[in-house]
Structure 1
Amino acid sequence: MGTSGVGVGTESDCTTGGGRDGSAGGCDRAGRPSRVTRDGSPGTGATIREHTAAMGRQTARVGAEASTPGQPAGDRVRRVVGWSLALITLALFATVPLSLAGDVMSRPRVQGAGPDWWYVVFVAAFALPGAALIHLRPRNWIGWILVGSGLLQVTNLAADAYSARALTEPDQSLPLGLAAAWLASWTWLPSLLLPVLVLPPLYPTGHPTSRYWVWHLRVALAGIGVAVVAIAFGPGGVDDTVRGTELPFAPPAWTAYIVVPLMIALLGAATASTVVGTLVRVVRATYPERQQLLWLLCVVTAMISTVFTEYRYVFVTAYCMVPVAVVVGVLRYHLLGIEVALRRTLLYVPMTLLVALVVGGLTTLLARLAPEGPLPLLAASAVVAVLVIPVAARLRVWVDRFVLGERADPLAVVDRLGAGLEVEQDDPVSAMLEAVASAVGASGASVRDPAGDVVARVGAPADLAPPALVLPLRHGGGVLGSLAVAPRPGASQVSASDARLLAALAPHLAVVVGSARLTGELALERNRVMAATLQERDRLRRDLHDGLGPSLSGIALGIEAARRAHDVDPDAVPTLLDRTREEAAGAVREIRRVLDGLRPTALDVRGLEGAVRDTARSLGMGGPGGPAFELRTDPLPPLPPPLEEAAFRIIAESMTNVSRHAGAAHCAVELARSNGDLRVGVTDDGSGLDPAATAGHGLESMRRRALDLGGSLTVGPAWPHGTAITALLPMEPA
């Protein structure tokens, strides 16, 4: 019974398949962001090297979650139950030598040679890795399937050995011998069918990945149940070890015509579904699911290659690697260089078969033409030399694309991003960020500006703490922000290959971020200019309507009155003309006032800082023979047009006074923020103010402009000599 069971398991475990990621119940996109650089200052190369080194340190953290305090009590109970079942499995196996002691297998009614010593390896290979997986992933059903399979198999062995002893004891002193024989007759079947038919749709997450696999599980479990019933209650089956053993009951013969076809239909459908569905999953899967599936299939392939070897222990060793491969695929597949093994296996195995077929076929064919001599071998070697190189090159490309996906050709990803730049996007940064995250399969990514504010985000949040990878976005010699990319779902770290791909994509994303920033600044500047223009137009309309219009109307009326007086009272004409002249002079003053109030064009073209520099240059500052000029500015937000104009007028008037009257050698202008105010300062090292002199029109104009905005202006001496003018202008309306 046990031996035949092993044979069935050997054949069926070859179809074990895969799932979404390496976590149990943690296949969501949480696990957030990480970083390798703390402030984004290191270069890309240093970032990747540091991140790669950090990946190695993650190995020691495999079981960290198992010992985390505060985990649900249910998980702790599951761990205890898992290890208890593994210990029970080993304890039951320890009873087998006791049951067979005293040369039981040589008794007259006993047939068979009994289990081999390597069965302990088989049992331990399922029980111990399964218990370890339960310990690390208590809610992942794969660990329970492995432990259950080992327990059922050892139950078969222990019950079979005990029944052999109990049923052949001369005094019949051992009880339940027949029950043990009945238990041993069917427990081997589910121990082999569960890993074959139930494990593939659950691997590696512990949950079915689609409704198709849910229905597959229902059909597979129903088929296993019907098969167990057919064997446990069918005729015979309990006399495999002890001849002449029969059950005290027998079902009606007609039940076999119902149970057996149903069993064949259900198990056949489940087996076909397992094979076809797993192959489809391998073709459609992406990283890391494809790597997990291929990792398991490589181990299964190694096991199949040893089925017909004469060294039975080699096959047992390969077969026992299957549950180990399952556990590795669920937990830490990315730490073992599995991609390299997969690529070499998928490349060298087909190439080896191709060389063998070509050499064998050609030598056999040419041997009929030239039975003697080296011609067949030389011809076959020549064909192989010509054929292998191009086939190997094409096969290598296909294998890399199959195993690595988009990472096999980073230039294709870069080209795809470049094509995205040619398409108009409502939010180009988010669109490009989504393309970058998709290229590396990241669960989330974000772009932040130099201040740390989020500019764009896709997927789950990618913070600036491990295990996310953070790369600086550099363009035009400056840092525009940072790119934070979270690991793939189920991974604890961004892989080194993904980090290299991200380093190649980051400059392209930086171009998009820089372009979006310039577009935003242009929009703000356009809005500012439009607001200033509209405000200036409204002021002109008001001044012309309220000031210049009445003055011109008065002039027209005065001229009309003088014309009439010329005919009626000529002596009154000079008086009327004098009044008209005064009215005209008032209109001229009004026009000058309106012109003085016009917003300087330099503010709209060059901004406040540029307009100040242009004014200084026009006054001869900073040039040969003129005073030295210095402009100190803090980073300023967009200023309201009235505030910007008032600041410029104050600075321009102050610099004009310095140029004309101070006789200074140095003039300094300062624009800074001070407790919500804009501080405007103009300092020179000239002769200073005359204490006896009265304030001129320029100082009064500057003070009025400051007061109109709710600010203040002070004029005082500068150290050691000169004049200092300081204006505080509120940046927010009072």
Structure 2
Amino acid sequence: MATSGNRRGLAGALAALVVVEVVFAVAYGVSAGWGWQQLVDNFVVTNGLMGLTFGLCGAVIAWHRPANPIGWLFLADGIGHATTPVADALAHVVHDHVVQQAFVTVSLTAWPWSIGLFLPLALLLFPDGRLLSPRWRWAAIGIIATSPLFVLEMAGSGEPVSPELPRGLLTIPRFDALQPLWTATEVRNLAALLLALVCLAIRYRRADEPGRRQLLWLLLASVIALLFVTPWAFVAGTPILVLLAIPLIPIAVAVAIVRYQLLDIRLVVSRALTWALLSLVAIGIYAALVAVLDSLIASQVGRSAAVTVFVALIIAPVLPRLQQLVDRALYGDRNDPARVASRVGSQLSAGLPGVVAAIRSALRLPYAALRVDGRLIASDGIPPSHDTRPPHGTRPSLDPGPVDPGSEPVDPGPGPVDPGDGASGPTAEGVSVVPLSYGGQVLGLLEVGTRSGEAGLSSADRSVLALVAVPLAVAVHATRLSAELQTSRENLVSAREEERRRLRRDLHDGLGPTLTGVAFAADAAANLITTDTPRAVELLARLRADTRSAITDVRRLVDDLRPPALDELGLIAALRQRADQLSFRADGAPIRVTVTTDSLPPLPAALEVAAYRIATEALTNVVRHASATSAVLSLRCGTELEIEITDDGSANGVWHPGVGLQAMHDRTAELGGTLTAGPTPTGGQIQARFPLPAAASVPLEVR
């Protein structure tokens, strides 16, 4: 912690030094009566602004990321730029010729290190302070080794910034004769910056989406600065103020390293590209019209005004189209909901993962996921983290720069708050959700990552997502139905196999040995009928008993498959017969069981068996456990078959499902019905409802 505090203190002291130097230089220029043009010509404005931006941005980076060398390189860059105007001012203050020459030399040699060494090296190490790979070590060594050439070029001319000052101490006698070397030095500077840009481009290609958003800040600033500074290095007469584009680089680097999610870089790039394209179009049209009108219209007609009017008329309809093209490249098809819906619809047959990927791709979102019943069904992209800060001592992937173990974490700022209109809402930081509703029920959630710098989904994004949520909800519903159908089929197959296994076990363990014994006894009796009649009679008696036992086993198996009373008497009469058999409780006390029913239509065999089993199981439970004196079994038939069993037993708290109650639930669920069971203020109640097939419409007379 002490090391971290010392580094931060050093960063603050160096930043304060830069500020003091710039303030002193500006104060001297103003007190000396320098006007704006003289401040510009003496590089007070340009070097002062570059010194402040590099120094302060470097201090911010070094404060939050002490172990990242980029912050310290920027601080050195800022000091170099700020030292140039302050040394020039001091040269005006002193009157000793040699001291003046010394200050002029410092002024000439301070800032070249910033441009020739510190800046390209910082860009080469961006964003985490490490080289792209070991092979890039030679590029860094080359930049460091050749950086003194630029310093030598600036100091060798000996020309002071202000004409009234003497030449520097490092003046080279035949400086102009070395012009090819100085040209090569300028080319070297440009090559160093281009090499850094190539490195950034490679990092951009290899980075994930958050990393690319981070790199876009610096790439945009570097390209703009390079476009402005290149003419100043090679074209005579270029205004000095073009150097004011350089401060964009430290600002972009500081934002990218410390708070790269502060603004939506895509929005910045969108607007910049739009106006850049528009400017190029305007310049081209202007040049073409000037060439044509120059030969057709005399100068006294007002050619420039006519050209301006023509350009304005042509450019007016071009801007919206350019904006549309750029927005589509950066934001996808969010302004064309029909196109998004078409892309999503074409992926429905490919399954839910394809739909989620199509939504993310169509809207250029960083992340999209589908959750159903709290489970992640499909996702595409990289989910945003709840905290973008990297763990201490680890190499971050989203937030650059190696983190010093003693440094304090940086507050990433408040998470995005989705303004939403009810169609979506925020969840984790950087994620908004869109509910997927079908039939008034929320089936799942579509989670989408918000773009960097956006507080939430825009109204255009929400409109598109609300549109695609409808077919996506239908797809989720269909997928759920398909899964339930598959589960039902598996349950049916499992139940069928379990029933077959039971039948096989009963036949093998019960009826099989009995019939085998019958066969052996019949053979033995046939062999003894003439030689040992009494023994044969004994075997025939045993044969009769075994045969009756086998008949009983067969009857039991048949009864388990389907109660014979249903075929012999019908459902209602079979239930009444069963009710008559249950006229005494387990303790011997009488109980009166009443059966009331409507006329029933013909019912499917499976429904008849389920109704019979549920009713008889419920009545058996009443007789065994309810301590009731009466029970009522009611069957009602309308749009569905309703079976209700009530008793006047004691209401002794919540029922705990046992084997019988679970079996009733399973039988009801197999046929798509519902079952409720529990105590009431007047006793117990079990109620089962079954949907009726369309063919069940002819009443069945009560027997």
Alpha carbons 1:448, 1:456 under 8 Å: kept? yes
Q: 1:273 aligns with which of 195, 210, 219?
A: 195
Distance 1:393-1:264 versus aligned 2 partners, 3 A rule: closer
Letter in 2 for 1:191: S
**Distance in 2 of aligned mates of 1:541 and 1:592:** 15
CA drift of 1:591 comes to 0.7
Distance 1:141-1:507 versus aligned 2 partners, 3 A rule: farther
**Distance in 1 of aligned mates of 2:150 and 2:43:** 24
Distance 1:664-1:443 versus aligned 2 partners, 3 A rule: same
Does structure 1 residue 158 correspond to structure 2 residue 86? yes
Distance 1:447-1:80 versus aligned 2 partners, 3 A rule: farther
Does structure 1 residue 592 correspond to structure 2 residue 514? no
CA drift of 1:474 comes to 3.5
Q: Secondary structure at the match of 2:597?
A: coil
**Distance in 2 of aligned mates of 1:471 and 1:189:** 55
Residue 664 (structure 1) aligns with: 632
Does structure 1 residue 90 correspond to structure 2 residue 19? yes
- What does 1:329-728 correspond to in 2, within 5 Å? 339=266, 342-355=269-282, 357-358=284-285, 361-362=288-289, 364-365=291-292, 368-369=295-296, 371=298, 395-404=322-331, 418-423=345-350, 448-450=371-373, 452=374, 459=382, 465-485=428-448, 496=458, 514=477, 517-518=480-481, 520-522=483-485, 524-553=487-516, 555-556=518-519, 582-598=545-561, 626=597, 651-655=614-618, 664=632, 683-685=645-647
Residues 176-225 of structure 1: CA distance to partner in whole angstroms, max 9, x if unpaired? 55543332221121233457634544566666667787665444343324
Does structure 1 residue 190 correspond to structure 2 residue 113? yes
CA drift of 1:590 comes to 0.8
Distance 1:117-1:244 versus aligned 2 partners, 3 A rule: closer
**Distance in 1 of aligned mates of 2:544 and 2:230:** 117
Residue 148 (structure 1) aligns with: 76
Structure 2 gaps of 5+ residues are: 35-39, 387-426, 564-570, 580-594, 601-608, 624-628, 637-642, 651-658, 665-677, 688-703
Residues 509-551 of structure 1: CA distance to partner in whole angstroms, max 9, x if unpaired? 6566555555554554444444433332232222222322344
**Distance in 2 of aligned mates of 1:558 and 1:248:** 130
Distance 1:261-1:373 versus aligned 2 partners, 3 A rule: closer
How many residues matched? Answer: 568
Q: Secondary structure at the match of 1:288?
A: helix
Alpha carbons 2:430, 2:449 under 8 Å: kept? yes
Q: 1:127 aligns with which of 50, 55, 59?
A: 55
Distance 1:206-1:408 versus aligned 2 partners, 3 A rule: farther
Q: Secondary structure at the match of 1:664?
A: strand
- What does 1:45-84 correspond to in 2, within 5 Å? 74-84=3-13
Residue 67 (structure 1) aligns with: none
Distance 1:141-1:375 versus aligned 2 partners, 3 A rule: same
Over aligned residue pairs, what C-alpha RMSD do you find? Answer: 6.3
CA drift of 1:291 comes to 5.5
CA drift of 1:83 comes to 2.4
Residue 14 (structure 1) aligns with: none
Residue 213 (structure 2) aligns with: 288
**Distance in 2 of aligned mates of 1:264 and 1:372:** 42
- Which sits farther off after the overlay, 211-220 or 123-132? 211-220
Alpha carbons 1:156, 1:188 under 8 Å: kept? yes
- What does 1:248-327 correspond to in 2, within 5 Å? 263=185, 266-274=188-196, 288-289=213-214, 292=217, 296=221, 300=225, 323-324=250-251, 327=254
**Distance in 1 of aligned mates of 2:217 and 2:545:** 97
CA drift of 1:148 comes to 2.8
Distance 1:354-1:190 versus aligned 2 partners, 3 A rule: same
Residues 256-311 of structure 1: CA distance to partner in whole angstroms, max 9, x if unpaired? 79986974664353244356666788899966357535753796599789999x99
Alpha carbons 1:627, 1:667 under 8 Å: kept? yes
Alpha carbons 1:487, 1:494 under 8 Å: kept? yes
Alpha carbons 2:631, 2:645 under 8 Å: kept? no
Q: Secondary structure at the match of 1:466?
A: coil
Structure 1 gaps of 5+ residues are: 1-71, 106-111, 601-614, 630-645, 669-680, 689-700, 707-716, 727-734
CA drift of 1:96 comes to 4.1
Residue 32 (structure 1) aligns with: none
Residues 649-700 of structure 1: CA distance to partner in whole angstroms, max 9, x if unpaired? 97342357799996726589xxxxxxxxxxxx98514799xxxxxxxxxxxx
Alpha carbons 1:562, 1:573 under 8 Å: kept? yes
- Which sits farther off after the overlay, 183-192 or 208-217? 208-217
Q: Secondary structure at the match of 2:632?
A: coil
Distance 1:303-1:513 versus aligned 2 partners, 3 A rule: same
TM-score normalised to structure 1 length: 0.57
**Distance in 1 of aligned mates of 2:26 and 2:311:** 55
**Distance in 1 of aligned mates of 2:80 and 2:217:** 27
Residue 626 (structure 2) aligns with: none
Residues 389-427 of structure 1: CA distance to partner in whole angstroms, max 9, x if unpaired? 885565344322344357676766665555554447xxx
Alpha carbons 1:130, 1:327 under 8 Å: kept? yes
Residues 572-622 of structure 1: CA distance to partner in whole angstroms, max 9, x if unpaired? 99998776555443322111112234499xxxxxxxxxxxxxx9999799x
- Which sits farther off after the overlay, 194-203 or 528-537? 194-203
Does structure 1 residue 227 correspond to structure 2 residue 189? no
CA drift of 1:569 comes to 9.8
**Distance in 1 of aligned mates of 2:101 and 2:319:** 61
**Distance in 2 of aligned mates of 1:243 and 1:522:** 93
Distance 1:462-1:133 versus aligned 2 partners, 3 A rule: closer
CA drift of 1:152 comes to 0.6
**Distance in 2 of aligned mates of 1:408 and 1:535:** 58
**Distance in 2 of aligned mates of 1:215 and 1:651:** 85
Distance 1:518-1:99 versus aligned 2 partners, 3 A rule: same
CA drift of 1:153 comes to 1.6
Alpha carbons 2:369, 2:376 under 8 Å: kept? yes
Alpha carbons 1:186, 1:231 under 8 Å: kept? yes
Distance 1:379-1:151 versus aligned 2 partners, 3 A rule: closer
Q: Secondary structure at the match of 1:187?
A: helix
Residue 103 (structure 2) aligns with: 180
Distance 1:97-1:281 versus aligned 2 partners, 3 A rule: closer
Residue identity over aligned pairs, in percent, reads 27
- Which sits farther off after the overlay, 382-391 or 335-344? 382-391
